[in-house]
Amino acid sequence: MSIVALAFLAKFVATFVAAIINKMSVRDSLAFGLVMNTKGLLAIIILNSGRDLHVLDHNTFSVMMLAILIMTAAVGPILALIYKSNVPSKQHTHRSIRSIQANSDNVSSVINLLEISNPTKQSPMFVFAVHLVELSGHASAMLIVHDTCSNIRKTSKITAKNQKHSSPSDQIVAAFEKLETESEESSLFVDALTVVSSYASMHEDICNLADDKSADLIIIPFHKQSTIDGGMDNGNPSFRGINKNLLENSSCSVAIFVDRGLTDSSNIKNEDGHGCCRCAMLFISGSDDREALAYAWRMASNPNPKPNISLTVVRFIVSKDAAVHSDLPPNNPNNNDHDHDEDEKKNILEMIEENEKEKQLDDQYIESFVLNARNQPSIKLIHEVLNNGEETLKLISAMGNDYDLYIVGIGQTGSSPLTFGLSEWGDCPELGPLGDALASSNIVASASILIVHQGRAVGKSLFS
């Protein structure tokens, strides 16, 4: 065993030290050192040749074969133990849209969304465009990094005649690299990648990639697509599972994009003919709504005299006469009446306390937003006092198709009387009460929707 230990530690220590010197994390350095100790078929062939040539005797051959077996077999379990924890590493925490400082088939619609997200030289955007491909014909998942320089030369030559014969990945790479080359002042940078994985583990690959790249936001298309009559098709349940898993497991913010024609150029023109996307942000309460407002503010904070975004923030305020409702399931009916009453009172008090904390944070955030947007006429804030979810839907219906893009937060079901009952309008509760109602109904049939969820980590305010 001493020979096995010496053979293992020699390469492990050398690789680990080299990785640390090159500024790799301790965990990744450990993994790198372990992987370097794996042996394959070539090592066995060399040992067999040495034995056949009588360079190695039977005892030496047996010891070295045992060392190869033990070293290779131990790597897998140790790696699984190292990466077992789902807790994001320190360097990947506190990542959200609000943590970004001022200096620091859905392809066309997503590209258009990125174009109106206001990348500037002072606040550039680094986009990792990931083409997700279902695992088929491969034994394990793959990550393909497309060479940007060579692809710009190669994909720029794709004409309308031969573009239909190119692979989907080539078309996606070409589209995003065209976006990068057309970006003004080198404010938007794109890296194109392809992830080949099974649907069951695809969200893990996305989360790991987001952690490796220290991404602040993941934008993923809705699993349903709009139809000609303005409705939505049945969608792909596998895609829906990926979206749900991302919402539950991502350490950074996630936005689900419901595309209903944002790619149509007629949807982003104002009455004067200038490019201008009319955007409405619906603000109720909570961290998801604050994160959604952060994204809307980034889109609209353009110093140009003719900005390409007009933003209307509609803040819904609960009236004093509003009744307290909850969509949450009732307590266990097996409890006796006294315990049931006590638990109900406790839940109500906890809900009131939590709502008060959120309201204070909301007020502070709205004040910061108003202070920073005071000199921009393309941004306005409207306060609407409402009593219940029915009035919320009526107000949004009255807004109708006045806007090209609605931005909302997922929020929590039953956390506000203004969303009570909205779950009856939709069939995707993972989108939150308001997002589900907008995506599953024809209230805003021709407007696209961006539904934002803040990740597990809470970042600093965008306005701090």
Q: Kindly tell me if the per-residue pLDDT of 446 is higher than 70.
A: yes
Looking at the fold, whether 171 and 247 belong to one and the same domain comes out as yes
The verdict on residue 96 lying in a domain is yes
The strand pairing partners of 221, in sequence order, are 257
Q: Kindly tell me if the per-residue pLDDT of 324 is higher than 50.
A: yes
Looking at the fold, whether 115 and 178 belong to one and the same domain comes out as yes
Strand arrangement, sheet containing 217-221: 217-221, 253-258, 448-453, 405-409, 277-283, 309-318, 379-386
**Percent of the chain, pLDDT > 70?**
75
Express each pLDDT in 236-247 by its tens digit.
889 999 999 999
CATH at residue 344: 3.40.50
**Total domain count for the chain?**
2
Looking at the fold, whether 39 and 113 belong to one and the same domain comes out as no
Per-residue pLDDT at 91: 46
The verdict on residue 463 lying in a domain is no
Residues 6+ apart with CB under 8 A from 395: 314, 316, 384, 386
Looking at the fold, whether 209 and 343 belong to one and the same domain comes out as yes
Q: Kindly tell me if the per-residue pLDDT of 173 is higher than 90.
A: no
The verdict on residue 459 lying in a domain is no
Mean per-residue pLDDT of the chain: 78
Q: CA 324, CA 347: separation in Å to the nearest integer? A: 12
Most confident of 118-127, 152-161, 271-280: 118-127
- Give residue 331's pLDDT band: very low, low, confident or very high (50, 70, 90): very low
Looking at the fold, whether 35 and 128 belong to one and the same domain comes out as no
**Other beta carbons within 10 Å of 404:** 25
Tokens at 423, concatenated: 């779950």
More confident of the two residues 94 and 370: 370
Most confident of 37-41, 192-196, 333-337, 406-410: 406-410
The verdict on residue 462 lying in a domain is no
- Give residue 301's pLDDT band: very low, low, confident or very high (50, 70, 90): confident
The verdict on residue 370 lying in a domain is yes
Backbone angles phi, psi at 188, to 5 degrees: -135, 125
The strand pairing partners of 329, in sequence order, are none
Looking at the fold, whether 318 and 219 belong to one and the same domain comes out as yes
Q: Give the domain-ending residue among 58, 84, 110.
A: 84
Q: Give the domain-ending residue among 84, 109, 125.
A: 84
Looking at the fold, whether 215 and 74 belong to one and the same domain comes out as no
Looking at the fold, whether 73 and 106 belong to one and the same domain comes out as no
Per-residue pLDDT at 444: 81
Looking at the fold, whether 72 and 136 belong to one and the same domain comes out as no
**Other beta carbons within 10 Å of 95:** 26
Looking at the fold, whether 139 and 12 belong to one and the same domain comes out as no
Looking at the fold, whether 286 and 314 belong to one and the same domain comes out as yes
Q: Give the domain-ending residue among 15, 49, 84.
A: 84
Per-residue pLDDT at 41: 78
Q: Kindly tell me if the per-residue pLDDT of 155 is higher than 50.
A: no
Looking at the fold, whether 300 and 362 belong to one and the same domain comes out as yes
The verdict on residue 44 lying in a domain is yes
The strand pairing partners of 128, in sequence order, are 191
Among 224-228, 258-262, 398-402, which stretch is predicted with the lowest mean pLDDT? 224-228
Express each pLDDT in 359-396 by its tens digit.
899 999 999 999 988 888 889 999 999 988 889 989 99
Structural domain of 415? 91-453
The verdict on residue 460 lying in a domain is no
